[in-house]
Amino acid sequence: MQKTAGRLLLPPKMLRIMKMTNFFLLAFCIHLSARTHSQEAITLSVKNASLKEIFTVIKKQTGYVVFYKSDLLATARPVSLSVSGMALDAFLDIALKGQGLKYEITDKTIILSRKPDKIDEPQDRSAMASLSGNPPPVEIRGQVTFQGKPVAGASVTIKPGNRGVATDDKGFFVLPEIQKGQYTLEVSSIGYKKVTRVITISEAPTVLNISMEQALDQVEEVVITNGYSIKKAGELTGSVQKISGDDLRKGLTTSDPVSLLKGRATGLYISEQGAGDPTSSGGQIFVRGQSSVAGVGVDQVNEFVLPTLNYGPLLVLDGVIMPNQNLKELVTPQEIEDITILKDAAATAIYGSRAAAGVLVVNTKRGSSNKPRVSAEIKYGLNEPNRGPVHFLSGQELYDRQKQYYSADYQINNASLHIKYPTLQSYLDFKLPTTDDVAHSFDWQKYVFAGSNTREVNLSASGGNEKTKYYMGGTYYNEQSTAVHNGLAKGAFRMNLESKLSDRMTAAVSISGSMNEGRRELFQTGPSLYNFIPWANPYNTDGTLKYNLSFKENGATVKKANPLFENQFNTLSLRSQLLFGSVRLEYRVTDWLTLSTTNSGSLNYIKNEKYADARSYVASSTVTASKGFLNTTTNYLNSFLTSNQLNFHKTFGEHAVSALAAMEYGRTASENMFINVNNIRAGYPVISLARQIGGSADLAALGITDVKTGNIEGGKEIQAVYSVFGEAGYTFRKRYSLSGSVRTDASSAFGRDKRYGTFYSGGAAWILSGENFMKPFKWINNLKLRANYGTSGSQLGDNFLTQTLYDPSYTYSGQRAASISILGNPNLHWEVTKTLSGGIDLGLFRRINATIDAYDRRSEDLLQKVTLPSLNGFPIQWQNVAEVRNTGLEILISSDNIVRKDFRWSSSFNISYNRNSILHVANDSLHQGFYTENSFYLYKGDDINTLKAVKYAGVDPQSGKPRFEKLLFDAKGQVAGKNYVNTVDEVIASGDVRQFQTIGSFQPKFYGGLTNTFSYKQFSLNILISYALKYVMVDNLPQTNQGTHLTSYNQLAFRDNQVQWTTPGQTNATEASIYYHNNTDYFGSSKYIHDGSHARLRSVRLSYDLPASVLKRAKLSGCTLYFSGDNLYTLYSKNIVASDPEGPSVGQAQSFGNSSGAGLAIPRRYVFGVQVNF
């Protein structure tokens, strides 16, 4: 295996392709054409012929060769002329007229070169004129503007003649040598409406001022790439949504681009419970519902293998499939040019086995051939902890509640308690702390949560000429979280270079890198500290920090590390570096055939260090004495992908045909290392300065021989995928489109026989608005129907689940031992998702654009971790059994509500609906939930994210005990009634899983967002609201900290709408009596499952662009000042105590449905920024 790992990155066949490419490159850099003598005559009649075509004719008719540098004809315009027997010199004079080119004929060759600027040939003019028998021409000059500002790079064309020029930086253009007559002048530029003007040219030069209007309807202009091919929006048969980087950047300040998609993209449900922690891995994306069950049916028994599953869509960055599924690590928001979301089969099938969860195609910024542009931006943000209704008790309040509790306890269990504690007071004295301790309480919330800041600096430069374009950008991002000792500093750079090597060969090189430095608390994680008992005061009376906490809890002394003391020395640092590079060569074989190869590689290095200093309590307390401990884990991942494709595109009259054929081979290798050392000199967290191998507990000191196992570990893994695929599209009269694709993947994840998976798609689109019968409906400016069907797959997260494997890295009693880690299933194969999808694109009044999409996705042969009967010994095995269906509807409406000279208001609203249901699961049931107390089954028809629980039925008015519904079933198994019992255990004691009733699903039925943009003169205001409706979440913070664990954790204050039972007959109580509340385990009941529907004012951004006059004085081309507020307000149920109702993610079975507000909620952030363009 070593040999394989060290082998060439390129398979030998790939090298051969590269060599061939080099050959083409050489052969075509020099352009050779043959040709004649100056006395030779030319006969020809062409319309709009390129110079190249003209030269071909010259060569045919005369045999003369034309030499020119490859870039010379880049700006040449087409020629229309008709001559008969014209001398070669005269012919060339006409053909090259106004092209800025001159020629020399020597020795049967014609050498073409550029004319020196500003030197015209006025003497020729009359000759030319007489030659064609026309009067002398005049010049048309003009400026193109938008709202008074120049429009650079607009194309100005004049017909007939089809001559064209582009405007310069100041919007000026010159069309020289126009004959008298009537012309149609067309001015167009992307983003503006085309201006058509009929002009009459007389003898005098003409000066025109053309002002453009912004285009509202650009449907035909939009160009979409799926990573392999580029298509016009009109040709698309699939569902795609493209969002520009500029729009995204008008949202939050974050390092996670996924956050920016939230509320803007349809069909993408984004859960970002970790967003409060800048070191977290970022938001989790579900495209059109969850199409996988792996990781859902987690059994309560031990996990032999937990595949590293990612639920997110496949990420394609600048045309390269990424091995990494975390967008946050791959790209910074600043670098994004646009993100295209591919959702249905027609759009995604080209990615075959990996596309079942959708595809995000991310393009980074490119240079343009404009003049160099340098941009700098500085942001500063204040982060404010978002605590919602979370409020913990003070020391005295907790003391009072505990006293009430122990008094009730003494009364209820008097029989056993009075023996040892003859009086209530003696019992209270035993259980409760001293009043002096209580008086010296500490507010842990204040320590844990604090305001912090976010800083960001961005620099970029872009530009180029017609041959080479470049973009270079760098970002520094530093976000401190609102919890203690938690933050991220990130630096990233990117360089995109594109160069035309010849007029047939283009090379593009991209290099990007990022460095992340994160830190967290070592053992306690900030947010969990707030439940510390208040009388566990971290300070001595003299104000110095205590070495450790020792306090009374439930009658016992508890000794704990003092987080304030520990945080002086101990850290958890998270470091990662990512370097990515790609080289793309594109060779245009003919006008309609292109051969391209993209070869990319990435290196990803991750290093996490846990350091407990010898001076700290955890590294030197009596039993775990390790005198300093350092754990270092490193992960190294490298991947290589070669993608080679042949693209075909040709138009025959009204028929346009495009096709591609391609192959890919990708290989990802990862290595990891894990080292534990201890006995480290204080203050030197270096492996070499440790005296021995060993864990956080110093076993050697205890007479137990320390072993390598568990202290020094390392492993590696290789995965490879090989694919062949093709795509074809046909468009007739630009109105009727058909498309199809097929892809076969072979993956090393499966056994040899099941390795191949073939996925396909077919689709059609019809632009109705192009039809004559639609002409009367002038208010419909665009109407397009789309439909498609196809399949895509999803790949197993882990390799080799097909084999029963032993992990030989264990020891038992000092001897090497191997344990079974996976019970293999040799029959595992690909999952497949079959999607039927249709959509309508609608444009009305040239102001409103709407896109409506509907889909039906059936995911079959899903890998399910099947619970085997206990008798099988091994609790689980992966099998291809489950089937899940997602159906849904997405609506995106954007409109320009008001468009005035100075004021503009536009809105964009989107809503997505998804319904998930299980069609089939193994054993007809899917075991859900990690802990036994909360295990239920999902059946056919259930939503895959259903939460079931024993139903909580309020407080018994007489006893003050909580009540739970126990269903009664008749002989046929139908519900015949219900009883009330007082514990969850009593309901489910018989093991009848029917007692778990459906409470809801933790993925929303509806979600989306609303964006409003207002601009007035130089001001612009962006408001983004996101929402999610109809889902439930487990409010796990009060479940553990409000009434329960009263004796061991600090308690959350009750909200105003919560009432605790105190007296028999009381009917308004929502919480059981203090004794029963504390002694009831609500886990597995619906007591804390609430509707999490919410709407969030996600971001408000006000910006001001400096007026042109100021810019001119400051010699700037742009300057924007802005102020934004993120997560300003969230509207959600009063029943929820958590500080944030953000819906949970999936894959972490232990925290099913849990709320994020139990930990660190997404902070409120106020950001001020300046962006300057030079």
Partner 1 sequence: MKKIFLLFLPVLVATSCNKQIDDIRPLTKIDKDGELASVTGITEATLGSYLLINSSGFTFLFDEPLQDLSEDRGNNVTLQDWAPASQKTDAFFFRNSNSPTSGFNATYYRGAYQLIVSNNINLEGIASFQASSAYTILTDADKNKVLYAKGENLFMRAFAYFNLVRLYGKPYYQNGGSGPAVPLKTSSDVKDAPSPATVKEVYAFIVKDLQMAAQLMKVTGVTRTNAFATTAAAWALLSRVFLYMGGSIANPDPAANQLAAAYADSVIGSTGTKYALLQGDAYQQMFGDDEFGDLGRSVFSGNKEILFAYDNAYPGSLIGELYNYDAEDGTGAIFLPSSDLLNLYVPADARGNFFRTNSNTGYLETTKWLVLNVYSVSSAPQIFLRMGEVYLNRAEANAKLGNMTKARADLKAIHTRAGLPGADVDALADGELLAAVLKERRMELAFEGHNSFDYFRNGLPMTRTAADNNGTELTIQPDDPKVIFTIPLN
User: Taking a C-beta distance cutoff of 8 angstroms, is the pair 1149, 929 a contact?
Assistant: yes
Q: Which of 236, 231, 243 is nearest to 344 (CA)?
A: 236
Among positions 559-598, residues that touch partner 1 (CB under 8 A) are: 559-560, 589
The contact pattern for partner 1, residues 254-293, with x = CB under 8 A and - = no contact, is ----------------------------------------
User: Taking a C-beta distance cutoff of 8 angstroms, is the pair 967, 995 a contact?
Assistant: yes
Among positions 1-40, residues that touch partner 1 (CB under 8 A) are: 1, 4, 11-14, 17, 20
Distant-in-sequence, close-in-space partners of 995: CB < 8 Å, separation ≥ 6? 950, 966, 967, 987, 988
> Could you say which of 871, 900, 972, 1063 contacts partner 1 (CB under 8 A)?
871
CA of 209: how far to CAs of 145, 179, 471, in Å? 8, 20, 33
Among positions 898-937, residues that touch partner 1 (CB under 8 A) are: 932-935
Among positions 964-983, residues that touch partner 1 (CB under 8 A) are: 983
Stretch that binds partner 1, among 54-62, 319-327, 797-805, 1108-1116 (CB under 8 A): 797-805
Among positions 984-1023, residues that touch partner 1 (CB under 8 A) are: 984-985, 988-992
> Could you say which of 502, 562, 877, 1139 contacts partner 1 (CB under 8 A)?
877
755 lies in the site for partner 1, by CB under 8 A:
yes
> Could you say which of 18, 94, 673, 718 contacts partner 1 (CB under 8 A)?
718
d(CA 1084, CA 948): 8
Which residues lie across from 877 on neighbouring strands? 866
- Least Cβ distance, residue 533 to partner 1 (angstroms): 9
> Could you say which of 1013, 1026, 1080, 1103 contacts partner 1 (CB under 8 A)?
1080
> Could you say which of 200, 623, 778, 1056 contacts partner 1 (CB under 8 A)?
623
- Between residues 929 and 1147, which has the closer beta carbon with respect to partner 1? 929
Say what the alpha-carbon torsion angle 540, 545, 546, 547 is, to the nearest 10 degrees: -160
- Least Cβ distance, residue 724 to partner 1 (angstroms): 6
> Could you say which of 323, 1084, 1125, 1159 contacts partner 1 (CB under 8 A)?
1084
- Least Cβ distance, residue 224 to partner 1 (angstroms): 27
Among positions 1035-1054, residues that touch partner 1 (CB under 8 A) are: 1048
d(CA 1062, CA 1077): 11
Give the number of other CB atoms < 10 A from CB of residue 906.
17
**With CB under 8 A, what is the number of residues at the site for partner 1?**
103
Stretch that binds partner 1, among 187-195, 336-344, 415-423, 1024-1032 (CB under 8 A): 415-423
d(CA 896, CA 900): 10
Q: Chain-centre distance of CA 1165, in angstroms?
A: 21
- Between residues 78 and 824, which has the closer beta carbon with respect to partner 1? 824
> CA angle, corner 512, sides to 607 and 17, nearest 5?
110
- Least Cβ distance, residue 834 to partner 1 (angstroms): 26
| Side chain identity at residue 1097, one-letter code | L
Residue with structure tokens 């050697």?
700
> Could you say which of 142, 283, 323, 875 contacts partner 1 (CB under 8 A)?
875
User: Taking a C-beta distance cutoff of 8 angstroms, is the pair 881, 911 a contact?
Assistant: no
- Least Cβ distance, residue 622 to partner 1 (angstroms): 6
d(CA 855, CA 181): 56
Distant-in-sequence, close-in-space partners of 473: CB < 8 Å, separation ≥ 6? 334, 335, 365, 458, 459, 460, 461, 462, 493, 494, 495
430 lies in the site for partner 1, by CB under 8 A:
yes
715 lies in the site for partner 1, by CB under 8 A:
yes
> Could you say which of 119, 198, 415, 971 contacts partner 1 (CB under 8 A)?
415
Among positions 658-677, residues that touch partner 1 (CB under 8 A) are: 663, 665, 667
- Least Cβ distance, residue 988 to partner 1 (angstroms): 5
Positive or negative torsion for Cα 413, 419, 424, 428: negative
d(CA 249, CA 331): 13
542 — phi, psi (to 5°)?
-85, 5
d(CA 828, CA 752): 11
Among positions 799-838, residues that touch partner 1 (CB under 8 A) are: 799-800, 803-810, 812-813, 815-822, 824
Stretch that binds partner 1, among 78-86, 238-246, 1077-1085, 1133-1141 (CB under 8 A): 1077-1085
- Least Cβ distance, residue 919 to partner 1 (angstroms): 23
Element holding 1151 (H helix, E strand)? none
- Between residues 113 and 958, which has the closer beta carbon with respect to partner 1? 958
> Could you say which of 182, 419, 653, 688 contacts partner 1 (CB under 8 A)?
419
d(CA 663, CA 666): 10
Stretch that binds partner 1, among 479-487, 718-726, 789-797, 900-908 (CB under 8 A): 718-726
Which residues lie across from 739 on neighbouring strands? 729, 763
d(CA 452, CA 481): 6
> Could you say which of 403, 655, 716, 1017 contacts partner 1 (CB under 8 A)?
716
d(CA 115, CA 99): 9
- Between residues 815 and 1067, which has the closer beta carbon with respect to partner 1? 815
Say what the alpha-carbon torsion angle 924, 930, 935, 940 is, to the nearest 10 degrees: -30
- Least Cβ distance, residue 1126 to partner 1 (angstroms): 37
Give the number of other CB atoms < 10 A from CB of residue 327.
27
Q: Which of the 8 DSSP states describes residue 1115?
A: T
User: Taking a C-beta distance cutoff of 8 angstroms, is the pair 806, 818 a contact?
Assistant: yes
> Could you say which of 213, 591, 771, 1081 contacts partner 1 (CB under 8 A)?
1081
> Could you say which of 691, 733, 752, 940 contacts partner 1 (CB under 8 A)?
752
- Between residues 454 and 647, which has the closer beta carbon with respect to partner 1? 647
Element holding 88 (H helix, E strand)? helix 88-95
> CA angle, corner 1145, sides to 1144 and 1148, nearest 5?
110
> Could you say which of 375, 633, 635, 748 contacts partner 1 (CB under 8 A)?
748
Among positions 147-176, residues that touch partner 1 (CB under 8 A) are: none
- Between residues 596 and 1022, which has the closer beta carbon with respect to partner 1? 596
- Between residues 336 and 660, which has the closer beta carbon with respect to partner 1? 660
Q: Which residues of 1086-1100 are buried (b: 16+ CB within 10 A; e: fewer)?
A: bbbbbbbbbbbbbbb
- Least Cβ distance, residue 588 to partner 1 (angstroms): 14
- Least Cβ distance, residue 699 to partner 1 (angstroms): 6
Residue with structure tokens 């922690």?
277
- Between residues 54 and 660, which has the closer beta carbon with respect to partner 1? 660
Q: Chain-centre distance of CA 150, in angstroms?
A: 36
480 — phi, psi (to 5°)?
-100, 140
Among positions 631-660, residues that touch partner 1 (CB under 8 A) are: 646
Stretch that binds partner 1, among 38-46, 549-557, 1013-1021, 1056-1064 (CB under 8 A): 549-557
- Least Cβ distance, residue 242 to partner 1 (angstroms): 32
d(CA 694, CA 711): 6
User: Taking a C-beta distance cutoff of 8 angstroms, is the pair 900, 1015 a contact?
Assistant: no
Give the number of other CB atoms < 10 A from CB of residue 756.
15
- Between residues 85 and 873, which has the closer beta carbon with respect to partner 1? 873
The number of residues making up the chain comes to 1174
Stretch that binds partner 1, among 694-702, 837-845, 1026-1034, 1158-1166 (CB under 8 A): 694-702
> Could you say which of 564, 746, 768, 844 contacts partner 1 (CB under 8 A)?
746
Q: Which of 988, 945, 854 is nearest to 1146 (CA)?
A: 945
- Least Cβ distance, residue 460 to partner 1 (angstroms): 38
- Between residues 301 and 682, which has the closer beta carbon with respect to partner 1? 301
